[in-house]
Structure 1
Amino acid sequence: MSAQENDDLLPTQTEGYRVSEKKGIDELKNLDSDDPSLIKWKESLGLSHAQERFPDDKRTVAVQALVFQSSERVIRMDVSSPEAVEKLRVTPIVIKEGTDYTFKIEFVVQREVVSGLKFLQSIKRHRVTVDKMEEMCGSYGPKFENQEKTFSQAKAPSGMLARGTYTVKSKFVDDDNNVYLEWEWAMEIKKDW
């Protein structure tokens, strides 16, 4: 992979911003332990205990799916295992040209609070970057259920020259530069579904 390809998925850095010191669940629980309203609020965030949906999986963030949503179609792309990611890489999803769409990412946070999750994506055709996105997802506490973030709306390219296969690289990362999932997949723009 060339340096140019690596740069496509580097999160932007805000000048002067410093990531705060990481605190564990127990430390966060004990902060302001004399304030009942803060205790109740922390419990609502999942800070009462470090929940584990996948006890045998040591990841803090387990990405489950990337979902393509339009008024005509919803395509759920499973990224929960290496086999599912490999299938996406070799089997393009088909998108109708000119379609307005959004992406939604589904993930599970377990054991610890994760700060500053970001979703990065680079779309290329014939090795030329045609679109890049960087979306801030936020900070999340551990929760047994899937958590999700829907991104802003976009429009698929249209016209004869836009039709064809595109290579997409996606990455889910936090403020500490922990990469939770980085994967490549393919999409094909067609005249119709």
Structure 2
Amino acid sequence: MSNPPPDDVEAELKPTATPGYNPGGSKSPEELAALDQEDESLARWKASLGIVPGTSATPAGPKLHVLTLELASSTLPSGKTISMDINNPQEMAAIKKNPIVIKEGVEYNVRMNFRVSGSIIPGVRYIQLVKRSGIKVDKFEKMLGSYGPRDEQYTVDFEPDDSPSGIIARTGTYNVVSRVVDDDGEIHANWEWQFKIGKEWA
């Protein structure tokens, strides 16, 4: 999706460590299905992840495939969303040349669509590092949870946020590095994109 970020950016993209938290070793769906079978609420949760007795992982192992990242806002014309297909090199190159324009001072939220195959992926996190003129202006990190393999895509809506406003916010291009990583340290997606703040959506 993109070249690896430089070392200084790589260090800033590391997930926040939770003191005392140990994710432990990964287990296959079959091993997880056999644990605590008498706990009904846990069994329901495992079933929601596709973990049921007789389940086994595919030889390919766990995979999380990000499909699109979207920006949604009630202020967008006709309730549309701005969507980027991070797997389309031409589309990502076009965004680099003509950055996404986000209207200043409005509420919006980010939505990620992805698929999971192979096995359960524990502790999926989305990390976003934003720089302008090479200076860090924001880092956002969201724990998305654990996901099991299934044919249908997952859609996760992030909490609403407000876009910045003012002449300073509207100056220059914001460069973003986005990453999806799990508790085992596996990087499932890593891509770069650009946006600007404008008086209106473009």
Shared fold per TM-score greater than 0.5:
yes
- 8 A contact 1:62–1:107 mirrored in 2: yes
Q: How many residues align?
A: 190
- 8 A contact 2:62–2:120 mirrored in 1: no
Q: Which residue of 1 aligns with 2:180?
A: 172
How far is the alpha carbon of 1:43 from its aligned partner?
Answer: 3.6
TM-score, normalised via structure 2 length: 0.81
> Using a 3 Å threshold, how does the CA distance of structure 1 residues 7 and 39 change in structure 2: closer, same or farther?
closer
Q: Which residue of 1 aligns with 2:143?
A: 136
Pairwise CA RMSD of aligned residues?
Answer: 2.7
How far is the alpha carbon of 1:158 from its aligned partner?
Answer: 1.0
Structure 2 unaligned residues grouped into runs of 5+: none
The one-letter code sitting in structure 2 at the alignment partner of 1:24 is: S
> Using a 3 Å threshold, how does the CA distance of structure 1 residues 40 and 165 change in structure 2: closer, same or farther?
closer
Query: For residues 5-51 of structure 1, what are the alpha-carbon distances to aligned partners after superposition, in whole Å with 9 as ceiling and x for unaligned?
Result: 22221101112211122111222233456788866664443124469
SS at match of 1:134: strand
> Using a 3 Å threshold, how does the CA distance of structure 1 residues 65 and 51 change in structure 2: closer, same or farther?
farther
Matches within 5 A, 1:1-193: 2-32=6-36, 42-48=46-52, 49=55, 60-73=63-76, 74-163=81-170, 164-193=172-201
2:27 and 2:45 mapped to 1: Cα distance?
17
Structure 1 unaligned residues grouped into runs of 5+: none
1:69 and 1:102 mapped to 2: Cα distance?
5
How far is the alpha carbon of 1:145 from its aligned partner?
Answer: 0.9
How far is the alpha carbon of 1:175 from its aligned partner?
Answer: 0.5
**Identity fraction in percent:** 39
SS at match of 1:121: strand
> Using a 3 Å threshold, how does the CA distance of structure 1 residues 119 and 38 change in structure 2: closer, same or farther?
closer
